[in-house]
Structure 1
């Protein structure tokens, strides 16, 4: 069975969507437990993608295709999972802030973090502070990740942190920010944590979860 999982992981690395779906179904047909397929085939494949991306051997388009391949397998498995059967690394809520429509960076971080075992809630783009606050109340995430690709929209990150404080939520979550104009200095100023790229975001999330 390990060969099947190895093939699954390799297929994710190579972005072979239909092959991952086929191997996942084969594993299910052969009686493999859904959580074992995730732990031994899907997650290792996506984790390797994250490593290769960090080392500069894979690039954004390839990571996005790999994530699509992993999702194809997960779609078959999710309906078969019982609540709490697979241990989540943590729950993360993501949004591109108000006034900003850029999506790729946030999507990349979300996919790599999902590959690392995190439960992801992606609110999309152009999300105002009030909406983020409401979703935090609703989902109770461990982490809130915000992205901005424009200098003019960075202020919405500060506004969101302030809104979380006003609603008594800031102490209950860790706020991560990133994007082309964002810096570690700005993160410190507004009370957030900064990651320079998608791979660093996964490392940061792991650190924050361990420390909480």
Structure 2
């Protein structure tokens, strides 16, 4: 069984999304524990890529390809994972809903952060691009998350991050969620201006910000 985990790890490092899908389907077909496949295969691969990127041995395209491969494989495993026991809560640092805001279809940064958060043992629910405030909250309610991570890659869509804050306030649920924002045109000043709970310029900073937010509330599955 360790052989398939090594194959999964290698395909993530290589950024081979087709093989990632094929191996994820094999995990399901052979009734291999999908949680083991994630932790011993997918996460091991993305951790190695992340470490190489941090040390300067890998470059952004390498991380992007690895993130895409991981997402492709995880999409296949998601139904099987949903049917598994939650396991030891100590293995889960907390749940996060991440997405690109309404009007914006860019997802490179979001996908990388999703993968690295997963590697850091957070439970990540990626709702994709062009997402409304309602969709962020709906998913958070569904999975019991209280951290929302909203990405905007265009100056014209930054206002959609503020719309999330406005939506939370208008529905009297602002105190239920932490909102972290990011993306090329954003800044700490912008986050402060709209009333977000955090901002990060890099994925490493985002993980630190989210980790700090998590300590203020109990971990939720």
Between 11-20 and 49-58, the greater mean CA deviation after superposition:
11-20
Give secondary structure in 1 for the equivalent of 2:136.
Answer: helix
Seen in structure 2, the aligned counterparts of structure 1 residues 10 and 211 have a Cα distance that, compared at 3 Å, is farther
Does residue 109 of structure 1 match 2:113?
Answer: yes
CA deviation profile, 1:92-130 (whole Å, cap 9, x unmatched) = 212222232322222222222233333333333333334
Give secondary structure in 1 for the equivalent of 2:215.
Answer: helix
State the Cα distance separating 1:177 from its structure 2 match: 0.5
Match of 2:122 among 118, 122, 126: 118
State the Cα distance separating 1:182 from its structure 2 match: 0.5
State the Cα distance separating 1:196 from its structure 2 match: 0.5
Does residue 55 of structure 1 match 2:55?
Answer: yes
The whole-number CA distance in structure 1 between the counterparts of 2:8 and 2:130 is 36
State the Cα distance separating 1:150 from its structure 2 match: 2.0
Q: TM-score, normalised by structure 1?
A: 0.77
1:206 aligned partner = 211
1:182 aligned partner = 186
The unaligned stretches of length 5 or more in structure 2 are none
The whole-number CA distance in structure 2 between the counterparts of 1:3 and 1:198 is 31
Contact in 2 for aligned 1:64/1:108 (Cα 8 Å): yes
1:146 aligned partner = 150
Between 156-165 and 124-133, the greater mean CA deviation after superposition:
124-133
State the Cα distance separating 1:34 from its structure 2 match: 4.0
The whole-number CA distance in structure 2 between the counterparts of 1:79 and 1:130 is 27
RMSD of equivalent CA atoms:
3.3
The unaligned stretches of length 5 or more in structure 1 are none
The whole-number CA distance in structure 1 between the counterparts of 2:138 and 2:68 is 29
The whole-number CA distance in structure 1 between the counterparts of 2:92 and 2:149 is 17
Seen in structure 2, the aligned counterparts of structure 1 residues 50 and 97 have a Cα distance that, compared at 3 Å, is same
The whole-number CA distance in structure 2 between the counterparts of 1:178 and 1:76 is 28
Give secondary structure in 2 for the equivalent of 1:94.
Answer: strand
Give secondary structure in 1 for the equivalent of 2:49.
Answer: helix
The whole-number CA distance in structure 2 between the counterparts of 1:136 and 1:77 is 17
Q: Number of residue pairs matched?
A: 211
Give secondary structure in 1 for the equivalent of 2:124.
Answer: strand
State the Cα distance separating 1:193 from its structure 2 match: 0.4
